[in-house]
Each structure stands twice: as C-alpha cells, then as structure tokens.
C-alpha cells in the first residue's frame, strides 16, 4: 500500500483512514492470540496510582510500570514471555517507517469509556533516532500534542479507527496524550472502546 500524504501537526505525521475496515478487522483478529497469551492488566504508576487504561505487550520487550518506575521487561506480569508481534502489525511499520530495523515492542493499550492518558513523553527507549508508530482501532479518541518540554501550548485532533500516527524527528520526544474517548463511536470492537498499538524500537 502506498502511503498518502499525512497531516503534519508539530512534527506528528497523521495518516487518516490509512487502514480500511477489512484491515482493521484483520488487526483485531491478529491480536486475539496475543491477548489470550498475555491478558490485559491495569498497571500502577510509580506513585502507586492505577492507570485508567489496561495494557499488555507483544515482542521481545513489554513496557511496564509499577512503584519501582517505568521500564521495559521481558515477561508479562504473569511470568509468561511476551508473544510475538503479529506480522500484519509489523507490515504497517515497514510501510510507514523503515525496513532497516523492526520494533521490539508493541504496546497494546485498551481504553474504555472512562479511560484517558495524560500528557507524557515516550523516553524509556535507548535510541530516539527511531520513530514511534501508533495505530488506532475502535472508538474515536481526542489526541493532544504538546512540545518537547512540559507546559506550553498544545493542539488536538480526533483519531478514528484505522488512523496511524508516526512520531519521529521533532515529534519523537514531544508530549502527547489522550483526553477522552467517544465511546460507542465505532463498531470495530464488539464491546466498544479503543485499542491503541504503539510500536517502538527499545534497545
């Protein structure tokens, strides 16, 4: 698939409707074995507060947080190794980012109707020269983009199912987050909600 020209906001490259409905359904199906092997769980921040999103991972590493801090680990909290990243997800990375190196982590976040994610940086990786790729499936979400330092102005855009965002260059360390979900705005997930897949080079 040849990528269309993205919308660019503050260096974030936003590919609207990049995945058609069939491709979206295919990605959801490819995630079922991942979620069966490594079920969603609710992480706890270093301050001891449970996050409103539930998450799991696929790949060699999974992003993790608890009272000891933010980091990548090699196993699901249950002790099982993280399952492989499904090939259809890797294909999106090679189409929009690079085929020189594959991501070692696919973070899977699930947002229910009350979930959100405050402004944050993705900075637990070893090499920031590689982009981060984000895939939206399911309900619409208001995506907020800030600057590379905390505070200052922000801009927002609604992301729909099938939208893909590439965060590289100036946007790689920019603050970003999800303000809220339009629960029930999509039929991609049978029970509603939003899945966000984030592909990252870890080491």
Give the per-residue pLDDT at 2: 55
Tokens of 159: 């992301």
Q: Where are the beta strands (DSSP E) in 21-127?
A: 54-59, 62-66, 69-73, 105-111, 117-120
pLDDT digits (tens, 9 = 90+) for 21-66: 999 999 999 999 999 999 999 999 999 999 999 999 999 999 999 9
What's the whole-number average pLDDT of the chain?
97
The 3-state DSSP class for residue 32 equals helix
Give the per-residue pLDDT at 1: 47
Residue 42 CB neighbours (<10 A):
11
Which domains are present in the chain?
7-200 (2.60.120.590)
pLDDT digits (tens, 9 = 90+) for 10-21: 999 999 999 999
pLDDT digits (tens, 9 = 90+) for 72-85: 999 999 999 999 99
Give the per-residue pLDDT at 110: 98
Give the per-residue pLDDT at 18: 96
- Pairing outcome for strands 7-9 and 12-15: antiparallel
Confidence of residue 3 (pLDDT cuts 50, 70, 90): low
C-alpha dihedral, 123 to 98 to 21 to 183, nearest 10°: 10
Q: How far apart are CA 157 and CA 149, in angstroms?
A: 20
pLDDT digits (tens, 9 = 90+) for 55-104: 999 999 999 999 999 999 999 999 999 999 999 999 999 999 999 999 99
71 closest CA partner among 61, 86, 81: 61
Query: How long a stretch of residues is the chain?
Result: 203
Arithmetic mean of pLDDT, 112-117: 96
Arithmetic mean of pLDDT, 172-193: 97
Confidence of residue 4 (pLDDT cuts 50, 70, 90): confident
pLDDT digits (tens, 9 = 90+) for 144-161: 999 999 988 999 999 999
127 closest CA partner among 109, 111, 103, 150: 103
Compute φ and ψ for 30, nearest 5 degrees: -65, -20
Q: How far is CA 79 from the centre of its chain?
A: 23
């Amino acid at each position: 698939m040849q990528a269309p020209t993205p919308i660019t906001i503050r260096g974030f490259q936003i590919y609207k409707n990049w995945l058609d409905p069939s491709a979206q359904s295919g990605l959801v199906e490819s995630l079922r074995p991942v979620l069966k092997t490594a079920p969603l769980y609710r992480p706890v921040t270093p301050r001891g507060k449970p996050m409103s999103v539930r998450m799991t991972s696929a790949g060699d590493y999974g992003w993790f947080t608890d009272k000891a801090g933010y980091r990548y680990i090699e196993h699901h909290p249950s002790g099982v190794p993280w399952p492989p990243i499904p090939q259809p997800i890797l294909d999106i990375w090679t189409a929009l980012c690079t085929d020189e190196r594959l991501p070692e982590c696919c973070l899977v976040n699930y947002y229910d109707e009350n979930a959100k994610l405050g402004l944050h940086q993705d900075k637990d990786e070893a090499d920031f020269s590689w982009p981060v790729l984000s895939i939206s499936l399911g309900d619409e979400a208001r995506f907020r983009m800030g600057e590379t330092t905390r505070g200052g102005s922000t801009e927002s855009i609604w992301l729909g199912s099938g939208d893909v965002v590439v965060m590289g260059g100036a946007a790689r360390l920019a603050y970003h987050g999800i303000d809220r979900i339009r629960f029930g705005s999509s039929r991609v997930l049978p029970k509603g909600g939003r899945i966000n897949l984030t592909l990252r080079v870890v080491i």
